[in-house]
Amino acid sequence: MGVHGLTSFVEGNRQFFTDMRLRDCRLVIDGCSLYFRLYFNSGLDQARGGDYDTFVELVRQFFAALSECRVQPFVVLDGGMDHTDKKFKTLQERAQSKIRQANALSRGSHGCVLPLLTCEVFKQVLSELGIPFVQCISEADFEIASLAKHWECPVLTNDSDFYIFDLKGGYLPFSFFQWNSVNGKATERYIPARHFTVNRFCSHFNHMNKQLLPLFAVVIGNDYTPAKITEVFFSRVEFERVPSGRRYGQSSSPRIEGFLLWLSQFTSPVVAQDEVLEILGEQRKGTLRTQLSAGIQDYQLPHSSSLAQYFSSPQPALPDAQGLPAALVSQPEWLLRMVASGRLSSFVLDVLVHQKVLLVAQVENSHLPSSHTSSLSIRKTIYSLLLEKARRDSQTPQGVTHRGRGRGRQSQGKGGQQCDVPCVDEYDRQELNLKKNTVEAHRPNCVPPLTLASLDRASAQVRLQVLLGTLGVMDSVLQPLPPHLCLPVCVTYFWMNNCKPKASHHLLQAILLGLVYGDLCWRRAHPNDPLFGSKASASVCQRLSQLRVIPGQRRGLDLGLAHLLSQWQSCMWAALFLNQLLCFPLPEPQCAWVFSGTLLHGLEAAIRGGRQCESLLAGDAVAWQLYSILLEALMGPAAAAAASRGRGEEQRPAQQRGRGHGGRGQGNEGRGRGSGGGRRGNRSRGMTSSDNALDNRFALLTFDEDQQW
């Protein structure tokens, strides 16, 4: 929720904290605060789409530090938007701010925009490390506080609401959590931190009753408080001047200090609330009392936490049905379990509960349509799968109109029936403004129908058909590919067809080199892999990595390239969610190793400047073989052979398959890994009769007439 102005006030005054040496304990961690903090405080790239590989190393280092101090982490992640929608205006304002900040970054100015796949990367690392984590149904603050109260352990977050929650184990703000400065003897390693408790805080304000703090938070203003309450109250009350001798440091706030001292005169929260209502006025006292009481209730923690049972059970429990929004009560058990385990994005919750989504701003050309336009058809399939029940429920006999829950548009169905086509409101960038677009839930005609209730029991082949049909790819393309690269290759093909403007061959080569780089890096780090310790692979990785654009250097941002790569990420983001919803018909790739913004910008510039892919991969036959397989999968044997010889002629993709290629990958059960150009040419130049006979390797692949492939 966030209490306005409280963080700067409290953290600017040292006396509210005690020093703590954190070790040998449980620690409840706000997962979203953690990945925001790690990314933004480490100088990682934001303008070019993110450096997920470097971010992964930071996450691993963080949890290694906790392990060294025998701290048991339990990570809790935010879910969807609050089902009451009371915070939606605040979320819209934040989304609008991110659009402005992304535009500032695109022009070389300052801004903070979290790269699109960061949350998915973070969850994948948690799974890989075996860190216990849960994804909530909505905002996680209350669940985090409840769990910490149940266990009597500290909370690590960066949220001012935790200066209000009464937690015996206290609150550790990220600002003072020195995880990269582990101290102490070998058997007594600890992390230096600052520890906050409401008892100590209240002692500085005439030992005020700590039960008054929720009223303080609601009146001073948080994300849920109507702004009018705060404005009216402070316009009508005049506090005694705080004596200069007791003002707190450089972060003095006369309003906060004065209000806390004013509240300290009351022993009972009920009496204090009545006095606040008197000040706010008689006319709307009933309504105001309801609003104040609801806000105060948000800080009242239960005696036990359902998450404690979730983390302690070998078979994680389902979310408590009593606390579920009405729209989720009837949803299938498999879907709710996947959401809680983090294997299914919280994006689906916003679709099911609200039929609206906020699309994440990226750094792109604000004069062009949003990068998310490129992945619209993937999202439509997601919406159709999630809202199919709403579509069936809305079907009525001809001449009768019945609107079920949610939004829809009327259309003529089979048998002369009228039905409401379910719709989702997407909030996305239009130039520099956040705009609402209403999108019909629609699946391509080539995609077989599935019902959400039985989707998890559908055959793997049917689920794969839905995924590939949406991406416009034939399954024969997958056969020569390493399993873990099937989805990135399919996404790259889809992106080639849907990005605007069309991508250059140089950029396609750079993306494929990026996939090769990620594959080599991952394999070299795993002792059981044949490439572990390979000097040839290490040499190629070093050669490619040296071409990275260094964040912060004076070299300007290639905005056209950034826009195209933002479209690629949007396609991957949507395809990941569709693959998850379909219960992983394709193995989920490790996102950290399929995209690195600074690397791709550097590789594209190098190739455009004349560097040849073969020379960049020289000395490692495995790297060149993988690159050739990827290129052939996308372009066909003839075009791939021409491209690998440095030719510029454009070729049509072919039906013929490349050689089979073993590789690590995952089965169909979940995320993670298993064991296992030249100048523009004439279109007709270099085309033989056999070339003309080759069928399209993909179902829908088209090329720009002016594009050199």
pLDDT at 259 over 80: yes
> 591-613, pLDDT tens digit by residue?
999 999 999 999 999 999 999 99
For residue 509, name the pLDDT band (cuts at 50, 70, 90).
very high
Cis peptide bond prior to 173, omega within 30° of 0: no
How many whole angstroms separate alpha carbon 297 and alpha carbon 301?
8
Sequence-distant (≥ 6) Cβ neighbours of residue 189 within 8 angstroms: 23, 68, 69, 70, 182, 183
> 377-386, pLDDT tens digit by residue?
999 999 999 9
Looking at residue 660, its pLDDT comes to: 35
pLDDT at 74 over 70: yes
Looking at residue 586, its pLDDT comes to: 98
How many whole angstroms separate alpha carbon 40 and alpha carbon 313?
34
Amino acid, res. 690:
S
Looking at residue 578, its pLDDT comes to: 98
- Residue 30: helix, strand or coil by DSSP? strand
> 87-126, pLDDT tens digit by residue?
899 999 999 999 999 999 999 999 999 999 999 999 999 9
For residue 677, name the pLDDT band (cuts at 50, 70, 90).
very low
- Please name which of 611, 145, 658, 101 lies closest in space to residue 366, comparing C-alpha atoms: 101
Burial label for 200, CB within 10 Å (0-12, 13-18, 19+), is: middle
Q: Indicate where the chain has its CATH 3.40.50.1010 domain(s).
A: 6-298
Q: Say which CATH topology domain 6-298 has.
A: Rossmann fold (3.40.50)
The larger pLDDT score, comparing residue 249 to residue 193, is at 193
Strands (E), 31-135: 71-77, 133-135
The larger pLDDT score, comparing residue 280 to residue 39, is at 39
The whole model's pTM is what?
0.88
Query: What are the Cα distances from residue 669, in Å, to 69, 119, 335, 545, 586?
Result: 34, 21, 14, 33, 9
How many whole angstroms separate alpha carbon 169 and alpha carbon 174?
16
Alpha carbons within 13 angstroms on the beta-carbon side of residue 643 total: 29
pLDDT average, residue stretch 677-705: 36
Strands 356-358 and 25-30: unpaired
If one counts every other C-beta atom within 10 angstroms of the C-beta of residue 339, the result is 26
> 328-370, pLDDT tens digit by residue?
999 999 999 999 999 999 999 999 999 999 999 999 999 999 9
pLDDT average, residue stretch 391-417: 50
Query: What are the Cα distances from residue 116, in Å, to 75, 314, 489?
Result: 20, 32, 19
Strand order in the sheet with 155-157: 17-22, 191-196, 171-173, 155-157, 25-30, 71-77, 133-135
For residue 679, name the pLDDT band (cuts at 50, 70, 90).
very low
